[in-house]
């Protein structure tokens, strides 16, 4: 059994930031990540640019410089792996933790590597920074399990000339629709809202509205997809149901943290559905277990992003430091 003073579950930006802050107080935490460093960002659309400015994404006191006003996905990948390397953060990649159990003055963490071989650790402190990108909000409709349906959009090329339905009205849905239209896909956006979302980037919305006005992108407001068939989808709006030819569905309906894993560790849930934790220290109701990043969101996953979640490590490190005095 490998023994550690602190283990961080998740090597996203907030997990890396927490590790760097724990180093600041003299600790050498181990990050265990079931995939690769900042896996969520690596899954973002290939040519995506962040809404945040680079300085709002910085961790570990390392400047984030970019070639343009908003950093790209590629620049972010380079920045975060560089930050991890410069701070010599210990990362055990491609290993999944499946359980965390209390034991006397610490915790026993059990899991497995990518070959299914068991792994066991013991740690005094556990920081859960598991993010949310592996847990999409499902629609719960017939046909959602088909291979033609995905909750992720990477790039437009595979959809050239295809009939593509996008479910959702957020920035990710709008960006995907624009990219798909540029390569000749026939795009229909299905959105439950009565009008455009107020969260759409202001410099993007005019161009999108123009495409809709010209009929280059079909927009269905106050609507929802009720069935997905092999070659079509059914859209229910205010009037009669509409059957539309379809080759692929991008269900860009957002994501949510893995609450089940938290409850298995003993962390309780408040009546509103978010985990119990102290906002000043990030410690949960289980002494020694802390939260960092989006897993600590109270309502919507996007209320905590890198901009704010990167500071959770400061609170955790300060609390552990005071405990050790």
Question: Do 216 and 119 belong together in one domain?
Answer: no
Structural domain includes residue 78: yes
Together in a domain, 299 and 158: no
Residue 252: which of 196, 205, 198, 190 has the closest Cα?
190
Total count of domains within the chain: 2
Pair 178, 225 in one domain: yes
CATH of the domain at 184: 3.50.50.60
Q: Are residues 101 and 179 in the same domain?
A: no
Q: What is the pLDDT of residue 101?
A: 94
| 243-296 tens-digit pLDDT | 999 999 999 988 877 788 889 999 998 877 789 999 999 999 999 999 999 888
Q: What is the pLDDT of residues 97-124, one digit of tens each?
A: 999 999 888 999 999 999 999 999 999 9
* Domain presence at residue 129: yes
> Where among 251, 283, 310 does a domain terminate?
251
Q: Is 143 within the bounds of a domain?
A: no
d(CA 236, CA 59): 45
15 shares its domain with 118:
yes
Specify whether the CB–CB gap between 305 and 199 falls below 8 A. Answer: no
Q: Are residues 106 and 186 in the same domain?
A: no
| Choice between 199 and 25, residue whose per-residue pLDDT is larger | 25
**Does 46 share its domain with 189?**
no
- Same domain membership, residue 315 and residue 238: no
Domain end marker among 209, 234, 251: 251
Predicted local confidence at residue 184, as pLDDT? 96
Structural domain that includes position 200: 149-251
For the stretch 200-218, pLDDT in tens is 888 889 999 999 999 999 9
Does residue 121 sit in the same domain as residue 266? yes
Buried b / exposed e over 1-40, threshold 16 CB at 10 Å, is: eeebbbbbbbbbbbbbbbbbbbbbeebebbbbbbbebbbb
Query: Max CA-CA distance within the chain?
Result: 68
């Amino acid at each position: 059994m490998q023994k550690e003073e602190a283990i961080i579950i998740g090597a996203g930006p907030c997990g890396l930031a927490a590790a760097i802050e724990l180093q600041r107080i003299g600790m050498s935490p181990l990050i265990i990540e079931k995939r690769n460093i900042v896996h969520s960002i690596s899954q973002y659309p290939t040519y995506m640019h962040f809404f945040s400015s680079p300085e709002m994404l910085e961790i570990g006191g390392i400047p984030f410089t970019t070639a343009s006003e908003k950093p790209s996905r590629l620049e972010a990948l380079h920045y975060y792996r560089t930050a991890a390397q410069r701070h010599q953060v210990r990362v055990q990649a491609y290993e999944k933790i499946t359980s965390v159990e209390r034991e006397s003055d610490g915790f026993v963490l059990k899991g497995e590597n990518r070959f299914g071989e068991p792994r066991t650790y013991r740690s005094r402190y556990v920081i859960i920074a598991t993010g949310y990108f592996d847990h999409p909000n499902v629609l719960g409709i017939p046909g959602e399990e088909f291979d033609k349906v995905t909750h992720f959009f990477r790039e437009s090329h595979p959809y050239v000339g295809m009939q593509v339905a996008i479910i959702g009205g957020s920035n990710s849905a709008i960006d995907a629709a624009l990219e798909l239209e540029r390569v000749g896909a026939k795009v229909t956006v299905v959105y439950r809202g009565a009008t455009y979302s107020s969260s759409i980037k202001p410099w993007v919305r005019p161009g999108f509205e123009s495409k809709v006005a010209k009929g280059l992108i079909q927009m269905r407001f106050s609507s929802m997809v009720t069935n997905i068939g092999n070659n079509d989808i059914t859209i229910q709006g205010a009037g009669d149901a509409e059957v539309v030819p379809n080759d692929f569905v991008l269900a860009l309906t957002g994501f949510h943290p893995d609450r089940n894993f938290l409850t298995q560790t003993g962390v309780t849930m408040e009546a509103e559905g978010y985990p119990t934790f102290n906002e000043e220290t990030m410690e949960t109701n289980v002494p020694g277990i802390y939260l960092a990043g989006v897993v600590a969101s109270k309502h919507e996953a996007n209320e905590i992003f890198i901009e704010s979640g990167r500071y959770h490590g400061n609170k955790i490190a300060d609390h552990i430091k005071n405990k050790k005095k």
